[in-house]
Amino acid sequence: MPLAVANVSHAFIDRGFLQHAEELARKILKSDDEQAQTRATRALQRIADQRRKENETEETIRLQAEEERKFRARYAEAFLSESIKQLTGTFQTTFGTLKLEKNDEILIGIYEHEEKELNPFGSLLVGPGVPGKVETTIRTTLRFDAVVQGRSGRFKFEATEKRSGVAPLLNRPKTSKAEGLLIIAEDERSFEIFDESQSPHSLSVAHKIEDAGS
């Protein structure tokens, strides 16, 4: 009987009823059944681990919420600030390296890169009858667009990777997208990126690594 009750405490843990599981496990610890006591002790360990994980998750959520609250407060202030003058140059962002240009209230960033890759499995990549190594071309394109108001803005980002010299089934472009808010620093040499497309939302900072015309 004590062992069966100890097993029930584990079943309660699996269903999230930690309080009921703990009450049963502590009762079993007072029994004379050593096997049941071992199971009850393990149940209490699982309960402690589960509560620790829940507390850590709650703390993470609290910190993320606080970070977002502070960002949105800064965003409101930036929205009411004077418009930026010349946010141009090359920036290192969480999405990659982008060359930014400003046209009125529109901010555009573009990056293109092409590289060659040799693959020994020619017939697999291109098709039957193509032995040996095959050279494929990988073209990566990054596109960043933002509408700016004051020192704030809303952005959209898209990354596309295309391969040439491969079989049609492997030639489908790979695309990833993101969108969110940004805050431009007063010296216009960095800006915060608040990515709303991720869950949870992420916050990063882009830094200028090269002035325009350098």
Tell me the pLDDT of the chain (214 aa) as tens digits.
Answer: 788 888 889 898 989 889 998 998 898 888 888 898 899 999 999 999 999 999 998 998 899 899 999 999 999 999 999 888 778 899 999 988 999 988 888 999 988 888 877 665 544 444 544 455 567 788 899 999 999 999 999 999 999 988 776 555 556 788 999 999 999 999 999 999 999 998 888 999 999 998 876 6
pLDDT of residue 125: 47
pLDDT of residue 2: 83
Spatial neighbors of 180 by CB under 8 A, at least 6 apart, are 154, 155, 193, 194, 195, 196, 197, 201
**pTM of the prediction?**
0.69
CB burial string 131-165: b at 16+ within 10 A, e below:
eeebebeeeebbbbbbebebbbbbbebebeebbeb
